[in-house]
Amino acid sequence: MRDFQLRTDLERHRVGDFLLPLGVEPTGLPEPVQGYTLEFEPGEDDGPDTYAFHVVVSHERLKPIIDAAFALLPAEVTPIVEVGSRDAYRSMDVLLGAEPVPIDDFLRVWYAFEEILIEDVCIGAGANAEEPLIEVFVDPWKGIVIHVPVEMRERIERLLAGFGLAEVAETWPLDLDREERPLSRTREVLTLEDEHSPDLDELLLQLREAWQLELDVDPEENVDDAGRRLGLTLWHVIAMADPAGGDPEDGAYVSMWITAGGLAEVEELVAGWFDASDEWSFREFYSTDRVAFDERPESLSSLPTRRDDAEIHAVSVDRWSAEGPDGPPPRPGREPPQ
């Protein structure tokens, strides 16, 4: 796999004196006020009261503030990643570490990919901890969220004052989302020389492996963003597979179209398929996305609208060989959120 490379042909845009991440192209975007907003959040279920700082600064000021915020985190943290979803019923995929990791391990991975994480506006990342209850998260538009117990408020205010930042009434205008016309466009920041170049999907795969990330959903339920129960839906799954025998560097992407009532049911069906296969063994999931029925492929055009049973409808295997010049074949790209 080739190294990730940022594009060198992109002009960094600014609105007023505010420099934007490379992934943003403004089309009428107003200049934000640099500083931070502060929100008090009462504790729930015997949890402590907290303050959430949301820091917005021009891009050239971003990195030292991130470094200082990460220095607040304790010895073990739980990584967090947010990325625009391809799932038909969810706008954002939230991935959380299955177990806390040492802060040094978290930072090692962060700094390996920081150049991308602070430029690509399709992804946000950070970490939290339970003792003390702290979260530091760099959102997709590269605002820095610092979430701390109430007794740490003055400490964070002093930290931010050291960077010349003060509390403001608003940073980005609150009515930005209500504009009738789009005020910005997202754009690809990674160099994609050909279909084998590592892209955001490859970055997500590496972050999932390094930080032990899992999708933050109830695997037994099938609901949309509003919490409505969906029943059985159509899923498109891509699993990475190893050959049951032969060179372990060889492998395949196994694409499946499935009807299921939740992620747990999907995983059970996929496990059953691999258990019955003499050729392939399961390595890991590459993607598991629900698909609107009207968006099903032509090969499933005869699939009835109402389906009463969970089942696999179609399977295709895209194999690769370690002897190939470019390694694994290209994988489907992730469209940025609109």
Point out which residues pair with 186 in neighbouring strands. Answer: 24
User: Which residue type occupies 68?
Assistant: A
**Residue 48: how many other CB atoms lie within 10 Å:** 14
Burial class (CB in 10 A: 0-12, 13-18, 19+), 189: buried
The answer to whether residue 336 scores a pLDDT higher than 90 is no
| Per-residue pLDDT tens over the stretch 9-36 | 999 999 999 999 999 999 989 999 999 9
What pLDDT is recorded for position 338?
Answer: 32
Residue 321: pLDDT band by 50, 70, 90 thresholds?
confident
Contacts (Cβ under 8 Å, ≥6 apart) of 264: 219, 220
| Per-residue pLDDT tens over the stretch 103-159 | 999 999 999 999 999 999 999 999 999 988 999 999 999 999 999 999 999 999 999
The answer to whether residue 324 scores a pLDDT higher than 60 is no
> Measured between alpha carbons, how far is 55 from 167 in angstroms, rounded to an integer?
9
Task: Say what the alpha-carbon torsion angle 276, 279, 285, 288 is, to the nearest 10 degrees.
Answer: -60
The answer to whether residue 332 scores a pLDDT higher than 60 is no
- Is the CB of residue 82 less than 8 Å from the CB of residue 126? no
Across the chain, mean pLDDT equals 90
- Residue 229 has φ and ψ, to the nearest 5°, of -75, 135
What predicted TM-score, i.e. pTM, was given to this entire model?
Answer: 0.88
% of the chain exceeding 70 in pLDDT? 91
What pLDDT is recorded for position 35?
Answer: 98
- Encoded tokens for 312: 């696999």
| Per-residue pLDDT tens over the stretch 169-221 | 999 987 766 555 678 899 999 998 777 678 888 899 999 999 999 999 999 99
Identify the CA nearest to 239 among candidates 252, 248, 258, 250: 252
Contacts (Cβ under 8 Å, ≥6 apart) of 10: 22, 187, 189
| 3-state SS assignment for residue 83 | strand
The answer to whether residue 334 scores a pLDDT higher than 90 is no
The residue-averaged pLDDT of 287-292 equals 94
Identify the CA nearest to 143 among candidates 68, 32, 51, 49: 32
What pLDDT is recorded for position 179?
Answer: 56
Residue 249: pLDDT band by 50, 70, 90 thresholds?
confident
What pLDDT is recorded for position 46?
Answer: 78
| Per-residue pLDDT tens over the stretch 87-116 | 999 999 999 999 999 999 999 999 999 999
Q: Which residues of 101-127 are buried (b: 16+ CB within 10 A; e: fewer)?
A: bebebbbebbeebbebbbbbbbbbbbb
Residue 335: pLDDT band by 50, 70, 90 thresholds?
very low
Identify the CA nearest to 70 among candidates 42, 96, 104: 104
What pLDDT is recorded for position 131?
Answer: 86
Identify the CA nearest to 278 among candidates 240, 314, 241: 241
The answer to whether residue 82 scores a pLDDT higher than 80 is yes
Angle at 175 between CA 173 and CA 177, to 5 degrees: 105
**Residue 227: how many other CB atoms lie within 10 Å:** 7
What pLDDT is recorded for position 146?
Answer: 98
Point out which residues pair with 148 in neighbouring strands. Answer: 51
